[in-house]
Structure formats: structure tokens, C-alpha cells
Amino acid sequence: MCLNVTGVDPTASPRSRWRGDPTLLLLLLAVLLCGGCGSKVFRHNGAVNMAGGFNMTGDMTVDGKMDMGELKTTVSLSPNSRATPLTPIVVSGQPKRTGKLAVLDVDDFLVDRNVGGIGSMGENPVALFHEKIDAIRNDKNIKAVVLRINSPGGGVTASDMMCHELARLKQDRELPIIANIMTVGTGGAYYLANHCDAIIAHPTSIVGGIGVILNIYNLQDTMGQFNVLASPIKSGEKIDAGTPERPIEADELAMLQRIADGFHQRLIDQVKSKRPQVAASEDQWSDGSVMTGSEAQTLGLVDGVGYIDTAVEMAKQRAGLKPDDRVVMYRRENDPAYTPLDVSPNQPVFSSLIPLRVPGLDRSTMPTFLYLWQSDPAMASLARP
């Protein structure tokens, strides 16, 4: 189906003419999405592409209430955002320069699963990180990397996998890698930063959160109020340890605590192996405490206080790059983030607006043990939308 709007009947009454109200544009887009179009103005072939002019005049009347909310200029309806490859986008520097520095951005929760839903690009943070690492590894013109972090952390295994990918890159290319912590770099995100050659934090960054948490809920009484009774059929006494359907037993608690302690010690040992000077002050940072970037520098958890341009300058100097050499980031075609400070939309818009999840009942989608500074109750489940 094709739809071309070139004008209206000049003899029509003023009320029947279109005035270019934004609601009309949305209605037209809805029609195009349902039927498709192959004209030069509109084309629907798995995605909506618009080129050329679009002029509307006249009146439009809508009966009733229509709440449009915020209208975005970029909308992805594809269930697979990986349909377009990662492309290096030059964000600064002289385009004709050969040498390049790559800014590798890490944002939001570090979980090993796709983050789907309206408003999200649906990327798996671990898989996306791996793909960006491969792109950097295969581009011989890249001489340095800035790992730009803005994340409270995430799953223990997801964080560990990303650290492994970063260590492999350093082994394969021997590139100087400087971490830059922006608003927050705690838990698994700090774990990742600690695999870099140096860490630069903003003076107001939140750093630390070196601990482990496993969210367990007891919803037995709540379920009883609704006459919901659990009748599990199981083989293996501890197979449902941590279930929200009953209180946790003492030996189950000891089992899970042992695992959490082991993961915690693994993180502490890794920090001390990279930063031997912090061993003497272990009791000040190993209990999950968070601190500002300036405080973290005093303890030796970061190497300096500055901004992303500070980290870029340091990485260029260590790689022997010139100040005006190119800085690139890896983006997909439908990613609206095109500067080092932009964040790719990979958290569903409606997940925070419509909190329909009940903590504990979505345990199958939780990343279980977390290297995560959990100050927001919404982080308790991190469930799939």
C-alpha cells in the first residue's frame, strides 16, 4: 500500500484542511507500518526510511484525548539490532590522520542476556562488548583505548567474562588502555576498570562497591494472603534453596553465603594483585563501601581525577599518538549515540514507568550473584521486561 500526500482540495472548508499537526504524522506512520509503502517519500521494508519532502497544510480534528508523550526521531522496530554491523564513527580529531584511539563505552547493568523492550536496542551487554573488542583487535590503526564506564556493575559471571575479553585484547595487541569512570563505576564495573593500565575518575564519580549481593525474598506470607500455596515436586533437598515460597533454612543460607564469600574474595584478590599499595587499607574499601573519585584516589583505587579528555590525552601520550589523531567509537546504524558522552539506549523505556514485576517471582531471569552497588530498589530483580 502506498500513501502520497501532495495537498488538499482548495475548495474544502478551512476546518477540513490539514495544519501539519504532529499527531497526523504519527497516524500516517502507523498506517505505513501496517501496510508498507514503496514510494520515494516513504519506504517500509523491515524498517521505516524517510527521504525527500513532507508537506502538510490544512486542518485536522481529533475527538477525545490523545497523549503523545515524547516523540523520538529515531525508532527501531527490529527485534535484532545486530542486523547492522558496528561501524567506527569519528568523534574528534583530523579525519585524514592514520592513527586512531578507540573509546570503548560500557553503560548500565552488566548482564549476560539481551535487554529487550520498547525503547531499548535489545543488545546483550556482554556480547556487544565482545563485538567491540573484536573490532578494535582487527583494526591495526587503533593504537590506544579509553574504556569509558558508567555502570553500577552487574552479574558476577558477566563481569568476569568482560574482564577476560579485555585481558585478551591487551595480550593480543599490547595497547595502552585507560579507564574513565563517569557518574558511577562500582562492583563489576570497577572490576573491569581495574584491568586497565590506569583509572581516571571524575571528582564526583561514585567508585568502589567491592562486594557481592544475592537477592532472596520470603513471600510465603504474602502468597498466603491470596491463598496461593506452593506444592513443589523436587528431588534433591537443596534444589530450591533461596526460593521465595518459603523461609530459607540455616544450612542453605550457609551454602549461599559461602559462595558469596568466595566471589567476594576473588574480587578483593584481583584488586590487590593490580594495586598492591591498597592492601594496607583493605578494611576501608573491601566491605562494599562506595566513595567519591577524589576519595578513591586517596586510597589508591584510582590513579587520577579528571574527565574523559584527561583519559584520552593520557592514552594518546602512552601510545605515541598526536593530539589531533582520530578518536572513534563503534556504533550501529540505528544507534543515536554519536559522541563520547552519549549513552546507547539499551534500557527499556517502560520498564521503569510500569513496574509490574514482583521481586522474587522473577528469579529465573535474575543474574543471581551480583558485583553490584545496589542503591536503587529497581535493581533488586533486573528482570527481563
DSSP states of 143-155 as a string? EEEEEEEEE-EEE
Residues 41 and 177: their CA atoms lie apart, in Å, by: 46
For 130, the grid coordinates are: 565482545
Given a cut of 60, whether residue 86 has pLDDT beyond it is yes
Contacts of 258 (CB under 8 A, 6+ apart): none
Predicted confidence at residue 134, as pLDDT, reads 94
Given a cut of 50, whether residue 207 has pLDDT beyond it is yes
Given a cut of 70, whether residue 154 has pLDDT beyond it is yes
Residues 122 and 327: their CA atoms lie apart, in Å, by: 26
Average confidence score pLDDT of the chain: 77
Ramachandran region of residue 369, left (φ > 0), alpha (ψ -120 to 50) or beta? Answer: beta
> Among positive and negative, which fits the CA dihedral 317, 323, 326, 332?
positive
Given a cut of 80, whether residue 313 has pLDDT beyond it is yes
Predicted confidence at residue 85, as pLDDT, reads 81
Contacts of 217 (CB under 8 A, 6+ apart): 244, 359, 360
Cα dist from 159 to 14, 110, 152, 260, 287, whole Å? 62, 6, 11, 15, 19
Predicted confidence at residue 321, as pLDDT, reads 94
> Among positive and negative, which fits the CA dihedral 271, 275, 276, 282?
negative
Predicted confidence at residue 318, as pLDDT, reads 96
CB 278 within 8 A of CB 210: no
For 8, the grid coordinates are: 488538499
Predicted confidence at residue 225, as pLDDT, reads 83
Given a cut of 70, whether residue 166 has pLDDT beyond it is yes
Predicted confidence at residue 170, as pLDDT, reads 93
Apex 111 CA angle, 109 and 114, nearest 5: 105
What is this structure's pTM?
0.71
Report domain extents, the chain.
1-62, 101-307+340-380
Predicted confidence at residue 350, as pLDDT, reads 39
Predicted confidence at residue 227, as pLDDT, reads 83
Given a cut of 80, whether residue 32 has pLDDT beyond it is no
* DSSP 8-class letter at 269: H
Residues 332 and 123: their CA atoms lie apart, in Å, by: 11
Apex 234 CA angle, 228 and 240, nearest 5: 70
CB 330 within 8 A of CB 86: yes
Residues 363 and 367: their CA atoms lie apart, in Å, by: 8
Q: Superfamily for 101-307+340-380?
A: 2-enoyl-CoA Hydratase; Chain A, domain 1 (3.90.226.10)
pLDDT digits (tens, 9 = 90+) for 215-261: 888 888 878 888 888 888 889 888 888 888 888 899 999 999 999 99
For 355, the grid coordinates are: 513496574
Predicted confidence at residue 53, as pLDDT, reads 52
Confidence of residue 331 (pLDDT cuts 50, 70, 90): confident
176-180 mean pLDDT: 97
89-113 mean pLDDT: 87
Given a cut of 50, whether residue 33 has pLDDT beyond it is yes
